[in-house]
Amino acid sequence: MQHEDRKPLNLDRIIVGEGIYGFLIETSRGLNAVAEVFKVLSELNLILVHMAVPEPVSKGTKGSFMLFLDFTKSKMTPFEAKNALEKRVSGIKIDIAEPVFSGVTVDSFHFPLIFLNERAVIFRETTLKAWLVNMRERFGTGGEAFLFHEGYIIGNSVYDACREMCGKECDIWTLFGAVLFASGIAENVSTDIDYERIIVKVWNNIECSLAKTKNLNKPFSHWLRGILAGFGSRYFGRRVSAVEVKCIAKGDPYCEFIIT
């Protein structure tokens, strides 16, 4: 899929806007109840702002799903809508997340966040900038070395996680690219592997995209370079080096790393 065909995914755990309410809907009737809930929502003329499915819902099983609904144009109150839904759809139970204050509604039902079976947190770009950019401005070469080392440890553990998911018969570098993509670290990863060397091309990686405005004349990545070195070291079973030869921070269309 091309970059221009992709849409951003808003994780919306916190919704900013007037009249938004969170509905946690638990059902013992699986997908049948889900279908009926959406039919009723449409009849009630409510606007669906965001949806999450924290527990799998399949046919005829127990499960839950979370909706954020916009009531600004509705003649019903959220509590009237809850009653209407519970009356018209059998086998569901609804809890409402009210705005924590005017204009801000939070999913107060789910914690912790989980990604690939482990606890995860969400960092916005400003936080990532403090970590991946300001760190090296404050601590110079020492900060860069720290980022690399941190990345290296992450790369080791990502390899172990991928190996576990992969079993024996899978292309672990393709899975690695998928993990970077799914976690939002990079948009696309391609690898060219020969006997002792791997060329990795990475499109739109978060670390270097944060430095695009800096007009740099040298590659910027240390954290992702560390991840690649850590992952590559596990892959080859020896300590490898990862050198960035192209970088979006200095105007190249993608970042390119050579692992040897």
260: tokens are 């040897």
Nearest to 245 by CA among 214, 199, 213: 199
Q: How far is the CB of 139 from other proteins (least distance, A)?
A: 4
Could you count the other beta carbons within 10 Å of the beta carbon of residue 115? 12
Select 71 or 231, whichever has its Cβ closest to other proteins: 231
Say whether residue 145 binds other proteins (CB under 8 A). Answer: yes
Least distance CB 244 / other proteins (angstroms):
7
Total number of residues binding other proteins (CB under 8 A)?
21
Report, in Å, the least distance between residue 140 CB and other proteins.
Answer: 3
Minimum distance from CB of 197 to other proteins (Å)? 12
Contact assessment for residue 178 and residue 188, using Cβ atoms and an 8 Å cutoff:
no
CA 118 to CA 112: how far, in whole Å? 9
Q: How far is the CB of 250 from other proteins (least distance, A)?
A: 14
DSSP class per residue in 177-217: HHHHHHTTS-SEEEEEE-SS-EEEEEES-HHHHTTGGG--S
Give the nearer residue to other proteins in terms of CB position, either 24 or 247. 247
Contact 257, 173 (CB under 8 A): no
Binder of other proteins out of 88, 149, 163, 246 (CB under 8 A) = 149
Distance from C-alpha of 208 to C-alpha of 230, rounded to nearest angstrom: 18
Closer to other proteins at the Cβ: 107 or 144?
A: 144
- Say whether residue 243 binds other proteins (CB under 8 A): yes
Q: Terminus-to-terminus CA distance in the chain, angstroms?
A: 30
> Could you give the count of Cα atoms lying within 13 Å of 4 in the half-sphere of its Cβ?
0
Of 145 and 175, CB closest to other proteins: 145
Restricting to residues 25-84, which ones interact with other proteins according to CB under 8 A?
A: none
Contacts (CB under 8 A) with other proteins, residues 165-224: 218
Residue 242 as a binder of other proteins (CB under 8 A): the answer is: yes
Pattern 98-137, other proteins, x by CB under 8 A? --------------------------------------xx
Regarding 244 and contact with other proteins (CB under 8 A), the answer is: yes
Identify which of residues 72 and 141 has a Cβ nearer to other proteins in the complex. 141
Radius of gyration of the chain (CA): 23
CA separation for the pair 10, 40 (Å, rounded) = 25
For other proteins, the closer CB: 25 or 247:
247
Instruction: Give 16 or 243: the residue with its C-beta nearer to other proteins.
Output: 243
Pick the closest to residue 256 from 176, 214, 199 (CA basis): 199
Residues that bind other proteins (CB under 8 A): 136-146, 148-149, 218, 225, 229, 241-244, 260
